[in-house]
Amino acid sequence: MPTVKVNDIEMYYEVHGHGEPMVLIAGLGTDTTAYRRIINPLSQKHTVLAFDNRGVGRTDKPRTPYTIEMMADDTAGLLKALAIMRVNVIGISMGGRIALALALQHPEAVKSLILVSTSARVVQGTRKTLRFRFFKLVKRLRSGTRFLGRNTQPYYAFIRQLEASGSYDCSDRLGGIAVPTLILHGRKDRLAPYALAEEMQAGIRGSRMVTFDGGHLFLFWESGKFADAVTEFLDGVAPSPENGPQQEKQI
């Protein structure tokens, strides 16, 4: 089980496929096992680095407060530990906010951004709705929760992630992002409303958006179209010669 010490935690990671590297940053309450349906097609043309954020999966779950900025630093530390200098970044839901923070805090590490089912800020009502729904699920399962993915997440760790995601707002700093950016969003997304995706696109100069008919989890139901959109975008981003060959590991 590959892990590496990053900041105050041991982080679990996986590497799949071959080609130009990309890093996939997972969403709230999810671990690497939740993304196999999209990792598999993406790894046909790219080296995909996937990992468990702090608080979930096989990465450490400290009881201290989490922030999106902290998780962006975790991501940067993992890239440095694996000698990946500049990388295409895919951030999904909460992972999209981590990707935005990574681009703002560590611009030298980010080659391009793909922001999926996310926004630069969270509306207050959405955070309360998520907390309520998850609390009911926790009471039913008692010992923990399985939101998406195979590994049980403790309730306290979910709340730490939820509070980090819900309190982050970089909407007034989007103009500082200067890398090619693709936004992939479902028109019926109720957790990250479409209007906030439009706001994010307007704030990031030169960004483009591709919309899908589904909601927040459209990428799982339309994984083929999702992978095609990602591949088409990355085909227009020049390779990074500073990244050496990557070792392939299978799911």
pLDDT (tens place) for every residue of the chain, 251 residues total: 699 999 999 999 999 999 999 999 999 999 999 999 999 999 999 999 999 999 999 999 999 999 999 999 999 999 999 999 999 999 999 999 999 999 999 999 999 999 999 999 987 765 555 555 544 444 444 344 444 556 678 989 999 999 999 999 999 999 999 999 999 999 999 889 999 999 999 999 999 999 999 999 899 998 899 999 999 999 988 666 555 433 333 32
**147: in domain:** yes
Identify the three-state secondary structure at position 87.
strand
pTM equals 0.88
Q: How many domains does the chain have?
A: 1
Domain assignment present for residue 237? The answer is no
d(CA 142, CA 39): 31
What integer pLDDT is reported at residue 12 of this predicted model? Answer: 98
User: In 3D, which of 62, 70, 52, 39 has the Cα closest to residue 4?
Assistant: 52
Tell me which residue range forms the domain holding 80. 3-231
Predicted confidence at residue 130, as pLDDT, reads 56
Contact present, 177 and 103 (Cβ < 8 Å): yes
243 assigned to some structural domain: no
Residue 145, pLDDT score: 45
Quote the CA–CA distance of 7 and 39 in Å, as a whole number.
Answer: 26
**Residue 89: HSE in the Cβ half-sphere, 13 Å Cα cutoff:** 31
Question: Distance (Å, rounded) from C-alpha 54 to C-alpha 28?
Answer: 11
Determine the pLDDT at residue 170. Answer: 98
In-domain check, residue 194: yes
> What's the CATH number where 200 sits?
3.40.50.1820
Outline where 106-154 has alpha helix (H): 124-141
Beta-bridge partner residues of 145: 153
Provide the 3-class DSSP secondary structure of residue 85: coil
Distance CA 229, CA 201 (A): 17
With tokens 């309730």, the residue in question is 155
- Which amino acid makes up residue 41? P
